[in-house]
């Protein structure tokens, strides 16, 4: 199976390394890489990890046509306000009857219902396991292991930067020092305000709500408050009472649709949500038949995001 990568930053490179290391098990090859910064690389026999980039294709459409790929892997940076340009890339792939795998939460946070419909009409698969919990299964968990189950709502710690910043501030560091620590861990969005102000968490909340609860929302519909007003003093005061803070995403079905919010919440340090530390994420799914099921991703790194992409590519290969 031939893959075309759009974007080749940390996640794209980790994915290429993972494919290389698993070539004996999964015979996929990357026949094209297209980036705004480096240009375009193409080779029908498969590109190396450090390919020679030529001048960029004039547009993603041209790149996809020349790649001859079966699957587009979309790993460009997120614009949480619009979901672009990833949404346009995905439509370009669908128009060429290419399957799509993305690590970019923007498209499902902004345009899930439309993209699902377009993928179905094109007869291709659209997968995005890596978007919310990196390598830990969430969408595939519900799809493959919980038949007949209706998800009623969820609660999660989905943004790593804010957790790292809260932990740093609990040690007496400033918010800015906390952001620096998160950046060194490689978990922070290009613009850290997206994390601190809650946009990243809102995008993940919208993505989950769209896919699992048919919410039909965008991140702009999620009432969101970030951690910008949190201080080391407030955290020290809470610590004396055995409490801490996490940026919590909540969603539940109501009589009139889906209720959503992202907000810093004060939690006992013994709360399962509070035990999400460092880059760890925790999602609790409330269901009708299977009770409340949690998925925890412990200290994931970019290699786990890459695995989330690989698991989707494998799923596509299996269903072909």
Catalytic residues: 204
- CB closer to its own copies, 222 vs 310: 310
- Torsion region of 285: left, alpha or beta (phi above 0 gives left; psi -120 to 50 gives alpha): beta
Q: Which of residues 281-300 bind its own copies (CB under 8 A)?
A: 282, 284, 289-300
In angstroms and rounded to an integer, the radius of gyration of the C-alpha atoms of the chain is 20
Of the candidates 88, 170, 259, 275, which one interacts with its own copies according to CB under 8 A?
275
Asked if residue 32 lies in contact with residue 5, where contact means CB atoms within 8 angstroms, the answer is yes
Decide if residue 146 touches its own copies (CB under 8 A). Answer: yes
Continuous segment of H or E residues that includes residue 80:
none
Q: Are residues 108 and 117 in contact, defined by beta-carbon separation less than 8 angstroms?
A: no
108 near its own copies, judged by CB under 8 A: no
Q: Which residues pair with 40 in a beta bridge?
A: 34, 54
Cβ atoms of 71 and 313 closer than 8 Å: yes
Give the shortest CB-55-to-its own copies separation in angstroms: 35
- x/- mask, its own copies, residues 254-273, rule CB under 8 A, reads ---------------xxxx-
Q: Which of 121, 147, 240, 256 binds its own copies (CB under 8 A)?
A: 147
Q: Does 307 bind its own copies (CB under 8 A)?
A: yes
The reply on whether position 24 binds its own copies by CB under 8 A is no
Query: For 259, how many CA atoms within 13 A lie in the half-sphere containing its CB?
Result: 5
Which region, judged by CB under 8 A, interacts with its own copies, from 1-9, 139-147, 229-237, 253-261? 139-147
- Cβ count near 200 (within 10 Å): 30
* Smallest distance, its own copies to C-beta of residue 137, A: 4
**DSSP per-residue string spanning 168-223:** HHHTT--HHHHHHHHHHHT-S-SSTHHHHTTHHHHHHHHHHHHHHH-----GGGS-
Q: For residues 315 and 140, is the Cβ–Cβ distance under 8 A?
A: yes
Distance, in Å, from the CA atom of 202 to the CA atom of 215, rounded to the nearest integer, reads 13
Q: Supply the DSSP symbol for 224.
A: B
Cβ closest to its own copies, residue 106 vs residue 300: 300
Q: How far apart are CA 209 and CA 186, in angstroms?
A: 26
d(CA 7, CA 77) in angstroms, rounded, equals 8
Question: Would you count residue 135 as binding its own copies (CB under 8 A)?
Answer: yes
Stretch binding its own copies (CB under 8 A), from 4-12, 33-41, 129-137, 208-216: 129-137
Least Å distance, CB 253 to its own copies, is 18
Q: Of 113, 149, 185, 266, which one interacts with its own copies (CB under 8 A)?
A: 149
In the complex, what is the shortest distance from the CB of residue 271 to its own copies, in angstroms, rounded to a whole number? Answer: 7
Out of 141, 171, 194, 208, name the contact with its own copies by CB under 8 A: 141
Q: Per CB under 8 A, does 137 bind its own copies?
A: yes
Segment near its own copies (CB under 8 A), from 31-39, 47-55, 102-110, 135-143? Answer: 135-143
- Interface residues with its own copies (CB under 8 A) are 18, 22, 25-26, 134-137, 140-141, 144-149, 269-272, 274-275, 282, 284, 289-301, 303-304, 307-308, 310-311, 314-315, 318
């Amino acid at each position: 199976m031939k893959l075309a990568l759009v974007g080749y930053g940390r996640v794209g490179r980790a994915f290429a390394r993972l494919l290389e290391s698993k070539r004996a098990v999964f015979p996929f090859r990357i026949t094209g890489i297209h980036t705004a910064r480096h240009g375009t690389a193409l080779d029908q026999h498969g590109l190396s990890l450090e390919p020679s980039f030529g001048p960029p294709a004039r547009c993603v459409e041209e790149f996809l046509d020349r790649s001859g790929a079966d699957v587009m892997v979309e790993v460009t940076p997120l614009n949480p306000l619009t979901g672009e340009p990833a949404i346009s890339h995905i439509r370009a792939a669908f128009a060429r009857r290419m399957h799509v795998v993305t690590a970019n939460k923007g498209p499902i946070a902004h345009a899930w219902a439309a993209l699902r419909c377009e993928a179905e009409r094109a007869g291709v698969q659209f997968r995005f396991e890596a978007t919310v919990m990196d390598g830990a299964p969430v969408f595939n968990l519900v799809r493959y292991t919980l038949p007949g189950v209706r998800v009623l709502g969820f609660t999660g710690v989905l943004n790593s930067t804010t957790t790292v910043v809260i932990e740093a501030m609990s040690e007496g560091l400033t918010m800015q020092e906390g952001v620096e620590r998160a950046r060194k861990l490689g978990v922070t969005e290009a613009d850290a305000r997206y994390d601190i102000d809650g946009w990243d968490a809102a995008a993940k909340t919208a993505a989950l709500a769209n896919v699992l609860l048919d919410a039909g929302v965008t991140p702009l519909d999620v009432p969101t408050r970030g951690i910008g007003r949190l201080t080391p003093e407030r955290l020290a005061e809470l610590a004396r009472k055995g409490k801490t803070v996490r940026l919590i995403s909540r969603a539940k079905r109501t009589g009139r649709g889906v209720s959503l919010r992202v907000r810093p919440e004060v939690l006992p340090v013994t709360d399962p949500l509070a035990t999400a530390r460092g880059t760890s994420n925790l999602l609790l799914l409330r269901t009708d038949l299977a009770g409340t099921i949690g998925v925890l991703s412990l200290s994931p790194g970019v290699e786990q995001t890459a695995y989330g992409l690989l698991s989707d590519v494998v799923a596509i290969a299996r269903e072909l």
